[in-house]
Every structure is written in C-alpha cells, then in structure tokens.
C-alpha cells in the first residue's frame, strides 16, 4: 500500500526518467529509484524472485568473471533468512527475511487454479529448481513488516558504530 505514497515522492525517490528509447518511439520511461538508506529495497514491492541462473551463466560466459550462478548463489543465500531454512538454494540467518504471503485474496487462489486448469504448472517456489509456472511469490517480509538491507544490515551496523569507526 505504501508504494502509492513513495512512487512519485521526491523526498524518498530520485524520480528519474530514462533517455528517449528509440524502440519506444523515443518515449522516456519513468524510473523510480529509492533515495533513502537501503535504496530501492526500502521502497520496492517486496517481491523476492532472484535472477534466473541461465542469465548469470550467460554473463559469465560472455566474459563477466565471477558472475556465474555458482559464484552469486552463495551471496544470495547469505543475504536470506528464508522460511524454508538452509537448503541448497536458500539461506538461513541472513539480514533479509523471506516469507510466504499470508492473508492474500481468494481471487489469487482462483487465478492460480485457472492457470493450472489452463495447463500451467503450479510453482510454489520461484527461487527453487525452476522459475516457470504459476503460484504465489515469496516476499521480503518479517512478521508482516518490510524486511530489507537497511533494516537487516545497515541499521544494526550503524547502531553498532561500524560506520562511525571507519
Ligand atoms: C518502486 C519499486 C518497486 C520495486 N519492486 C521490486 C520488487 O518487488 N522485487 C524486486 O526484486 N525488485 C523490485 N524493485 C527493484 C529493486 O528494488 C532494485 O533493483 C534493487 O533494490 C536495486 O539495488 P541496488 O543496490 O542496485 O540499487 P539501489 O537500491 O538503487 O541503491 C543505490 C543507492 O545509491 C544512492 N544514490 C544514488 N545516486 C546517488 C548520489 N548521486 N549520491 C548519493 N547516493 C546516491 C541511492 O539513494 C540508493 O540508496 C523495485 C524498485 C522500485 C523503485
């Protein structure tokens, strides 16, 4: 709900626009960016869907050393406090909580059921072994409140004087 209050708010948002995009008849697209501690993670939609392994592999194979899936996965895992715990693909004890949505609209269930009926595969973990399919995405929420790098890492470090001592 808070997105409506932050999406165009210059106090917390850089409210950038892209350069004109030739493929879009030179339109400039609105580009919201967080202007607060924690950056966009402090104003984003809290959807937790990591990049696709194949994209990271492609970057690495194109010469971007250190950006393959096996290189970045340990950092994703370290960042997470995932409700599934410590698995081959999820992390526990990290600064950003990952949880299942609760109290979602019954319309979501009907929408997903319709997708399955249509032939899409049900997927309850878009950060699991496959990303295609239909289901509810996980979100970066702890006990009903936003969880992000600012809350989970920066504020504690600030309180501990980590920044001041540098
Ligand atoms: C409205 C919105 C909704 C989103 N929803 C989702 C979502 O649901 N799920 C998802 O995965 N992603 C979402 N995203 C995208 C995601 O949040 C960002 O891609 C991600 O947080 C970017 O992280 P970053 O560290 O690369 O950059 P940022 O988080 O943008 O961090 C950059 C930091 O640098 C600071 N900075 C920039 N310029 C200057 C300057 N000149 N001087 C000083 N400081 C500066 C910024 O204030 C900011 O703190 C959303 C983004 C927005 C804006």
Q: Answer yes or no: pTM beyond 0.85.
A: yes
Does any ligand 1 atom lie closer than 6 A to the CB of residue 98?
no
Residue 41 lies in a domain: no
* CA distance linking residue 130 with residue 49, whole number of Å: 11
6-23 per-position pLDDT tens digit: 999 999 999 999 999 999
CATH assignment of the domain containing 114 = 3.30.560.10
CA 41 to centroid of ligand 1, rounded, Å: 6
Take atom 47 of ligand 1 and give the residue whose Cα is closest: 35
**Model pLDDT for residues 35-49, shown as the tens digit of each residue:** 999 999 999 999 999
Query: Would residue 92 count as lying in a domain?
Result: yes
Would 42 be classed as within a structural domain?
A: no
Q: Is 139 in the pocket of ligand 1 (CB under 6 A)?
A: no
Kindly tell me if the per-residue pLDDT of 165 is higher than 70: no
**Residue 92 neighbours by CB under 8 Å, 6+ apart:** 80, 81, 82, 85, 86
Number of domains making up the chain: 1
Q: Is residue 30 part of a domain?
A: no
Indicate whether 166 pLDDT > 60.
Answer: no
85 located within any domain: yes
Residue 2 in domain: no
b/e per residue, 98-123, with b = 16+ CB within 10 A? Answer: bbeeeeeeeeeeeebeebeeeeeeeb
Q: Whose CA is nearest to atom 23 of ligand 1?
A: 40
8 ligand 1 Cβ < 6 A: no
Residue among 47, 163, 151, 42 at smallest CA distance from 96:
151
* Domain span including residue 120: 69-166
């Amino acid at each position: 709900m808070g997105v409506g209050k932050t999406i165009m708010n210059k106090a917390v948002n850089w409210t950038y626009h892209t350069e004109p995009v030739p493929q879009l008849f030179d339109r400039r697209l609105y580009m919201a960016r967080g202007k607060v501690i924690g950056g966009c993670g402090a104003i984003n939609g809290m959807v937790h869907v990591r990049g696709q392994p194949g994209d990271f592999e492609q970057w690495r194979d194109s010469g971007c050393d250190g950006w393959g899936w096996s290189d970045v996965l340990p950092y994703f895992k370290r960042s997470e406090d995932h409700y599934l715990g410590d698995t081959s693909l999820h992390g526990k004890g990290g600064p950003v909580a990952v949880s299942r949505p609760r109290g979602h609209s019954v319309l979501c269930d009907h929408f997903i059921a319709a997708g399955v009926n249509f032939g899409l595969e049900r997927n309850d973990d878009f950060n699991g072994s496959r990303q295609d399919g239909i289901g509810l995405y996980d979100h970066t929420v702890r006990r009903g409140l936003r969880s992000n790098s600012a809350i989970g890492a920066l504020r504690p470090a600030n309180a501990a004087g980590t920044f001041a001592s540098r």
